[in-house]
Amino acid sequence: MALEPASYPIIRLGTRRSPLAMAQAREVRARLCTAHEWPEEAVELIEVQASGDKVQDRPLSEIGGKALWTKELDLWLADGTIDAAVHSAKDVETIRPDALAFAAVLPRADRRDCLIGAASIADLPKGAKLGTSAPRRAAQLLHLRPDLEVVMFRGNVATRLSKLQAGEADATFLAAAGLERLGETGVGTALDPSEFLPAAGQGAIVVEVMAGSRVEGFFSELNDIPTAAELKVERALLAALGGTCHSPVAVLCEWTDGLLDVRASIFSEDGAERVDGAERFDATEPGAEEGIARDLLNRASPKIRQHFNGAS
């Protein structure tokens, strides 16, 4: 029997308009309605075209950084147009306004990068062009294959695949989680995350609300403790490094029975220099990521440190 409208709240869930963002918002809605035994109409999806989706011919670092994915939804949260916003965790700025809070971090999907256009990085022909706008991917690739050429690729999954098809590059990278959420399984080659480290937050979805809002508690049942612990450390590490959208940094953080294994790498922009660090610590241990950041920066050359402003 259908519930009466008065027996459940109406939650307005904000999302970017891209196909992947919509898929993520539908996943949040489905999980929320299942957790509370609500009908689908209890959660209204409200779409916005983010600034980052409007300009696709320049890297984010040149036009405002990650804030271009969040600023419209931040404004809607502040003025009450929406009750909550759905984000890809890797697209959320490291430093967020105090008035906002993560109400839930969903269980992490596949955190790996997929190489599209070749069976492996080693199989790419000498001098091949690889399309990406991510400093992490570009630097990590060039560290492995300095003979390759990186060309700027931006846009949603379909846009980047069409650019590849049109011959603008020989290969590109896409996040395995995004492909999975769009039903594009079997596309490309998933790279071993211990060899080609992912971005902080890759594969995770977060729900953000105004701190203390009426809806915050509704999302608590969706929160995945291991993923939330991993994400907290990954974001704290970025903050300790002073990383920005210009910074070539990769991090792999994995939870096992309350322990976190962290591997991180920072690079020079051209990939010629790389500094690696690793640490295992209890998930409840505060500030451990600051020691990792300090160690990485202390061993880095000025060529790497210029992309970070953390304390050395």
Assign residue 80 a region: left if phi > 0, alpha if psi is -120 to 50, beta otherwise? Answer: left
Provide the percentage of residues in the chain whose pLDDT is more than 90: 81
Nearest to 227 by CA among 172, 144, 283: 283
- pLDDT attached to residue 288: 87
- pLDDT attached to residue 102: 97
Give the architecture (CATH level 2) of 113-190.
3-Layer(aba) Sandwich (3.40)
- pLDDT attached to residue 1: 37
Distance CA 49, CA 19 (A): 11
Convert the pLDDT of each residue in 85-107 to its tens digit: 999 999 999 999 999 999 999 99
Distance CA 66, CA 220 (A): 26
Nearest to 265 by CA among 168, 217, 195: 195
How far, in Å, are 47, 64, 154, 263 from residue 61 at the CA level?
24, 6, 12, 25
Mean pLDDT of 115-137: 96
Assigned CATH class of 5-106+204-224 = alpha beta
Residue 185: count of CB within 10 angstroms of its CB: 9
The answer to whether 260 and 280 are in contact (CB under 8 A) is: yes
Q: Among positive and negative, which fits the CA dihedral 227, 232, 233, 239?
A: positive
The answer to whether 221 and 35 are in contact (CB under 8 A) is: yes
- pLDDT attached to residue 162: 92
Fold agreement between 5-106+204-224 and 236-305 = no
Supply the residues annotated as catalytic: 91
> Is the pLDDT score of 295 beyond 50?
yes
Domains of the chain, residue spans: 5-106+204-224, 113-190, 236-305
The residue length of the chain stands at: 312
- pLDDT attached to residue 51: 57
Mean pLDDT of 14-34: 96
Distance CA 73, CA 229 (A): 25
pTM assigned to the model: 0.90
Considering the four listed CATH numbers 2.60.40.420, 2.30.33.40, 3.30.160.40, 3.40.630.190, the one that applies to the domain covering 236-305 is 3.30.160.40
Convert the pLDDT of each residue in 252-281 to its tens digit: 999 999 999 999 999 999 999 999 999 999
Mean pLDDT of 69-87: 93
Mean pLDDT of 66-75: 80
Our CA dihedral for 161, 166, 169, 170, rounded to 10 degrees, sits at 80
> Is the pLDDT score of 220 beyond 80?
yes
Convert the pLDDT of each residue in 174-195 to its tens digit: 999 999 999 988 889 999 999 9
Range among 49-58, 96-105, 150-159, 286-295 rated most confident: 96-105
Distance CA 185, CA 194 (A): 21
> Is the pLDDT score of 8 beyond 90?
no
- pLDDT attached to residue 71: 86
